Amino acid sequence: MSSRPYEAIVIGSGLGGGAAAFALSRSGFRTLLLERGGWVKRDVLDWSPRGILIDQRYRSRSPVDIEGERGLHTVYPNEAVGGMSVFYGGASLRLRETDFSNWPIDYGAMEPYYTKAEHLLEVHGQAGADVHEPPRSGAYRFGGIELAPPAKRIFEAAKTLGHRPFKIPLALNFTNKDRPVCIRCSTCDGFPCRIEAKNDVAMTLLAKAQAFDLAVMPGMIVRQLETRNGRVVRVRCLDGTTKRAVDFSAKIVILSAGALQSPAILLRSGLERLDNHRLVGRFLMRHCNAVVTGLFPFRTNPDRTFHKQLCFTDFYEDLRDRLGTSVGTIQDIYTPAPEVLKHYAPFGYGSLSALVTRYLQNLLCIAEDEPRYENRVQLTTRMDDYGIAITRVVHRYSEADRLRREYLTDRARRILKQAGGLYHRIYNLDTFSHAVGSLRFGNRARDSVLDESCRFRGVDNLFVLDGSFMPTSGGVNPSLTIAANALRVADVIRAEYG
Judgement on whether residues 424 and 487 belong to the same structural domain of the protein: no
CA distances 306 to 108, 262, 476, Å, are 34, 34, 21
Judgement on whether residues 376 and 498 belong to the same structural domain of the protein: yes
Look at strands 64-68 and 220-228 and give their pairing.
unpaired
Specify whether the CB–CB gap between 475 and 401 falls below 8 A. no
Q: What is the mean pLDDT of residues 403-419?
A: 98
Judgement on whether residues 55 and 85 belong to the same structural domain of the protein: yes
The answer to whether residue 278 is domain-embedded is yes
d(CA 45, CA 49): 8
Judgement on whether residues 206 and 76 belong to the same structural domain of the protein: yes
Full residue range of the structural domain in which residue 156 is found: 141-168+288-367+398-431
Task: Determine the distance from the C-alpha atom of residue 386 to the mean position of all C-alpha atoms in its chain, rounded to a whole number.
Answer: 26
Packed helices 479-497 and 107-120: angle between N→C axes, nearest 10 degrees: 100
d(CA 154, CA 312): 11
- What would the pLDDT profile of 141-168 be if each residue is shown by its tens digit? 999 889 999 999 999 999 999 999 999 9
- What would the pLDDT profile of 117-148 be if each residue is shown by its tens digit? 999 999 999 999 998 999 999 999 999 889 99
Judgement on whether residues 95 and 34 belong to the same structural domain of the protein: yes
Judgement on whether residues 207 and 266 belong to the same structural domain of the protein: yes
Judgement on whether residues 261 and 118 belong to the same structural domain of the protein: yes
The answer to whether residue 464 is domain-embedded is yes
The answer to whether residue 323 is domain-embedded is yes
pLDDT band at 349 (very low <50, low <70, confident <90, very high): low
Tell me the backbone φ, ψ of residue 68, rounded to 5 degrees: -165, -140
- What's the pLDDT at 3? 53
Q: What is the mean pLDDT of residues 33-54?
A: 95
In CATH, what number is assigned to the domain containing residue 261? 3.50.50.60
The answer to whether residue 185 is domain-embedded is no
Other C-beta atoms closer than 10 Å to the C-beta of 425 total 12
- What would the pLDDT profile of 63-85 be if each residue is shown by its tens digit? 999 999 888 999 999 999 999 99
Q: Inform me whether the pLDDT recorded for 421 exceeds 80.
A: yes
Q: Inform me whether the pLDDT recorded for 354 exceeds 80.
A: no
The answer to whether residue 131 is domain-embedded is no
CA distances 386 to 55, 62, 271, 383, 391, Å, are 22, 8, 21, 7, 13
Judgement on whether residues 199 and 242 belong to the same structural domain of the protein: yes
Q: What is the mean pLDDT of residues 295-302?
A: 95
d(CA 53, CA 60): 14
CA distances 441 to 254, 280, 437, Å, are 15, 11, 9
Domains held by the chain: number: 2
pLDDT band at 301 (very low <50, low <70, confident <90, very high): very high
Q: Inform me whether the pLDDT recorded for 331 exceeds 80.
A: yes
CA distances 61 to 79, 175, 384, Å, are 9, 37, 7
* Least trusted range by pLDDT, from 99-103, 214-218, 339-343, 458-462: 339-343
Judgement on whether residues 102 and 11 belong to the same structural domain of the protein: yes
Helix (H, G, I), strand (E, B) or coil at 292: strand
pLDDT band at 18 (very low <50, low <70, confident <90, very high): very high
Other C-beta atoms closer than 10 Å to the C-beta of 152 total 15
H and E: helices and strands count for the chain: 11, 18
SS3 string, 12-64, reads CCCHHHHHHHHHHHHCCCCEEEECCCECCCCCHHHHCHHHHHHCCCCECCCCE
- What's the pLDDT at 377? 98
pLDDT band at 1 (very low <50, low <70, confident <90, very high): very low
Nearest to 369 by CA among 233, 259, 489, 222: 259
pLDDT band at 347 (very low <50, low <70, confident <90, very high): low
Q: What is the mean pLDDT of residues 317-328?
A: 96
Judgement on whether residues 444 and 378 belong to the same structural domain of the protein: yes
Q: Inform me whether the pLDDT recorded for 2 exceeds 60.
A: no
Q: Inform me whether the pLDDT recorded for 268 exceeds 50.
A: yes
The answer to whether residue 228 is domain-embedded is yes
Judgement on whether residues 444 and 424 belong to the same structural domain of the protein: no
Other C-beta atoms closer than 10 Å to the C-beta of 1 total 9
Q: What is the mean pLDDT of residues 350-377?
A: 91
Cross-strand partners of 236: 224, 247
